[in-house]
Structure formats: C-alpha cells, structure tokens
Amino acid sequence: MRTPRNEPLGSDSSALRPPRNRAAGTEEATPERKCVLTGQNGSRDEFLRLAISPDGQVLPDALARAPGRGAWIGVTRAELDEAIASGRLRGALARAFKGAKLSLPEDLGAMAQDALTRAFLQRLGLEMRSGKLILGSDRIAQQARGGAVAWLGHAADASDDGCRKLDQAYRVGMDAEGSGLTGERLPLDRAALSVALGRDNVVHLALADHGSAERVAIPLRRLMRFTGAYPAAEGISPEGAANGAAHHAEVTG
C-alpha cells in the first residue's frame, strides 16, 4: 500500500489514506490532514480547520468550507488553549505562513467550540426538518427494535438506565446483540439539545437512515474530538456514528 504524503502546512490539498469501508468490507480513500501543532496526520472529518482571512484573522472554520488559506489542528480545546497561552500556536502558524501577519484571538478555543457545537446542532436541525430525526424514548425504542434506527444519541445528562434500555433496543434492531454497540453519549446536555431543536426535554434522539447518520457524523466527530469526549465515551468508538450507519446499510441493503 502506498504511504500517502503529508499535507503541506497551510494547504487545503488532500492526502489520502485508504480506511476500511465497514458496510462493504472494502477500502476507500478518505482525506487526511496534518495538524500544525503536533505534526500528526489524521482524518479531515475529525480535525478542525482554522481559516486565515486576507487581513490575517485566524478564525475557526467548523464546516471546513471557508475560502482562502487554512491550517488544520487535531487537538482538544484544553490543548489548544495551552498552545495559545504558551505561544506555540502562533509559532506554528508563523512557520506555516511565512511572512504573513496573523491576528490570533485569545478566546479562539471558546470560539472554536461554539462553532463546532453550532455546526452539529444545525445539522441535526436539518435532519429533523427532513423528517429523519426521531425524538421521544418510546418512539425511538419502537423504531430501534424494528431496525429503523441508523444512529442513536444520548444527552450528556441522560440517565444510565434510560440509555441502557434504548441501547438494548438498538442492538436488537441492528441484529448486533452481544456486540457492545451503544448510542453516542453527546457532549451536550438536554437543555442545549432542547433549545437547539425547539422541543421540550430532548434526552435521546435517533436518525432514521444511514445517509442522515453519515451527514451528522462529520460535525459530531469534530466536536467530540475537540471537547475530548471520545475517551470518556463508553461502549462506542470514535467512529461510532459511521459504524452504526454502515451496519444499518449492510443489514437493510
């Protein structure tokens, strides 16, 4: 297998690595980026892009769509805050963009977390408006047992008992009993989810098809990585949303 080249610092060109396609059991190329702080390569779908405006403003680009130059980071907010305070981020960006005058906000970490959270919640809102988001424990349980749930999520403050019951229904419907498959414990509480979706007491939520799960997976991965929620998640890997989506496609396809 060819070793992919690293992305040049400050470039938005792609380096490709071939991960396993869980649904088909094949290999497919996905874009990879290099963190300007650590020098490590990682998935574009998990790293955060920092956009550099023409006047040198460094701003979070949660959707990785802003035009112009950019740099990628694959660190948590705590690590970013430390890198800003110590001057390491400014130094890394100065090396990446030689000669450029950069303006680095002191609250970039907070700005980035807000932007990533907003991107995730907006994606959920779009899926809800398209009729693909399932809310309510009873409805989720019924749909999950019937195999009609591709992804399952729980608010950060959801009860363990409520999560266990829905996780069990999810495994039954996915024909994955004994696998340890669970819903994703989100880095957002019920209040944040309820306000964002305009519903009362949103504790558990699910997506009805693998296309929706895949669309939600990217902003969720970025948010989870940045908040450091992956190590704390129980029973699901950092790619849990994609796992569920792929398994659903395999079972229902």
216 and 122 together in one domain:
yes
Q: Is 238 among the domain residues?
A: yes
53 and 149 together in one domain:
no
Rama region for 210: left / alpha / beta (φ>0; ψ in -120 to 50; rest): alpha
Contact between residue 115 and residue 222 where contact means Cβ atoms under 8 Å apart = no
Q: Which residues of the chain are under the pLDDT cut of 70? A: 1-30, 230-253
125 and 241 together in one domain:
yes
45 and 170 together in one domain:
no
25 and 131 together in one domain:
no
91 and 39 together in one domain:
yes
Closest C-alpha to 188, from 142, 223, 215, 161: 223
Q: What's the pLDDT at 125?
A: 97
Contacts of 233 (CB under 8 A, 6+ apart): 184, 185, 224, 240
**Residue 64 belongs to what domain range?**
15-106
Q: Which of 106, 127, 158 is the last residue of a domain?
A: 106
Closest C-alpha to 141, from 169, 160, 175: 169
135 and 63 together in one domain:
no
DSSP code of residue 7 = P
What CATH number did the domain enclosing 32 receive? 3.30.1230.10
184 and 76 together in one domain:
no
Q: Which of 106, 121, 143 is the last residue of a domain?
A: 106
Q: What's the pLDDT at 98?
A: 86
The DSSP element (H or E) to which 244 belongs, if any, is helix 240-252
116 and 22 together in one domain:
no
Query: β-strands 41-43, 151-154: how paired?
Result: unpaired
* Residues shown for the chain: 253
135 and 235 together in one domain:
yes
Q: Is 4 among the domain residues?
A: no
What is the tens place of the pLDDT at every residue in 106-117? 999 999 999 999
156 and 65 together in one domain:
no
Q: What's the pLDDT at 99?
A: 74
What CATH number did the domain enclosing 170 receive? 3.30.1330.30
CA distances in angstroms from 163 to 21, 141, 142, 158, 191, listed in the order given: 28, 11, 14, 7, 17
Rama region for 67: left / alpha / beta (φ>0; ψ in -120 to 50; rest): beta
184 and 244 together in one domain:
yes
Tally of structural domains, the chain:
2
Residue 94: both structure tokens together: 């100065």
d(CA 206, CA 78): 30
Q: Is 29 among the domain residues?
A: yes
Q: Which of 45, 74, 106 is the last residue of a domain?
A: 106
